[in-house]
Amino acid sequence: MPGPAPAPTAVTPSAPVAVVGPQFCVPYVVPLTVTKKSLSLTDGDFTVTDANDAVVLKVKGTIFSIRHRRVLLDAAGQPILSMHEKVLSMHHRWEVFRGDSSNPRDLLFSVKKSSMIQLMKTEMDIFLAGNTAEQVCDFRIKGSYFDRSSVFYLGDSNTMIAQMSRKYTAASVVLGKDIFGITVFPQVDYVFVAALVVILDDVHRDKSD
């Protein structure tokens, strides 16, 4: 379980935001570090650590297929989420399922670009599985592609639930690793936020390509 950290000044949700599960919502700020392995045969491996550098989550993935697929695991290696990119999706859509599933009944949420053309910015809309009409998003991400910085919002509002920014360390510069710092606000599902950061990395990589 990640340890507490001083809370940043921001508007936070008045009720718990539990997407993956209420056990991942805690009453304090959760600082996480996401490190992408630079030497990986799959190009989809990440490690998520807490403020004490303890491994909280892992991500295994593959790009040797028509569509990308990544599985988010807990520290013991048990699958929590399975992330699948939809084939030939114009809005770069991902679907996220509970466990190691791809069954529609296990769908938790989906993520897609807010608009097809995005050059210097990144905006993503997130829809919960029950929001089949998708007329209004349940969450939104806004950020800068070049800075790799993003803010996560509750619905189409100004209520922030998390922030992400690129971290520059000796390892990131010398070894070419991508390292991101995440601040997850109190009572917000930190596994949900970590999954969104992994999907954002894929979007950024496609822009670089």
117 located within any domain: yes
Answer whether residue 18 is part of any domain.
no
Q: What is the mean pLDDT of residues 78-100?
A: 85
Residue 156 sits at φ, ψ, to 5 deg, of -95, 60
Alpha helices (H) in 103-177, listed in sequence order? 170-174
CA distance 91 to 117: 9
| pTM for the whole structure | 0.86
- pLDDT the model gives residue 69: 84
> Domain for residue 15, yes or no?
no
Average pLDDT of the residues in 9-23: 79
Distances (CA, A) of 143 to 3, 79, 119, 153, 197: 27, 29, 11, 11, 12
For the segment 86-106, the average pLDDT, to the nearest whole number, is 84
As a whole number of angstroms, the distance between CA 18 and CA 207 comes to 30
- Nearest residue to 101 (alpha-carbon basis) of 77, 83, 119, 86: 83
The better pLDDT of the pair 149, 203 is held by: 149
Residue 21 maps to a domain: no
Q: Give the Cα separation of 199 and 72 in Å (integer).
A: 11
Quote the mean pLDDT of the chain: 82
* 130 φ/ψ angles, rounded to the nearest 5 degrees: -75, -15
Indicate if the pLDDT at residue 148 is higher than 60.
yes
Residue 13 domain-assigned (yes or no): no
The reported pLDDT for the residue numbered 205 is 66
pLDDT exceeds 70 at position 20: yes
Tell me the CATH number at 109: 2.40.160.200
| Cα 164 from Cα 182, distance rounded (Å) | 4
Domain count, the chain: 1
Q: What is the pLDDT of residue 191?
A: 97
Report DSSP state, residue 106: G
Q: Which residues contact 133 (CB under 8 A, 6 or more apart)?
A: none
Q: How confident is the model at residue 129 (pLDDT cuts 50, 70, 90)?
A: very high
Question: Where does the pLDDT of residue 81 fall: very low under 50, low under 70, confident under 90, or very high at 90 and above?
Answer: very high
User: What local confidence, expressed as pLDDT, does residue 9 receive?
Assistant: 44
Q: Report d(CA 15, CA 125) in Å as an integer.
A: 21
Beta carbons within 8 Å of 41's beta carbon, 6+ residues apart = none
| Domain membership flag for residue 7 | no
8 band by pLDDT with thresholds 50, 70 and 90: very low
Residue 80 lies inside a defined structural domain of this protein: yes
* 3-class state of residue 183 by DSSP: strand
Q: What is the three-class DSSP state of 163?
A: strand
Q: Is residue 143 part of a domain?
A: yes
Compute the distance between CA of residue 49 and CA of residue 22 in angstroms, rounded to an integer.
Answer: 20
Residue 45 has what pLDDT?
Answer: 83
In this prediction, residue 7 has a pLDDT band, given cuts at 50, 70 and 90, of very low
pLDDT above 70 covers a percentage of the chain that reads: 74
Report how far residue 99's alpha carbon sits from residue 74's, in angstroms, rounded to the nearest whole number. Answer: 11
Per the structure, the complete domain to which residue 90 belongs is given by 28-208
Residue with tokens 């510069």: 173
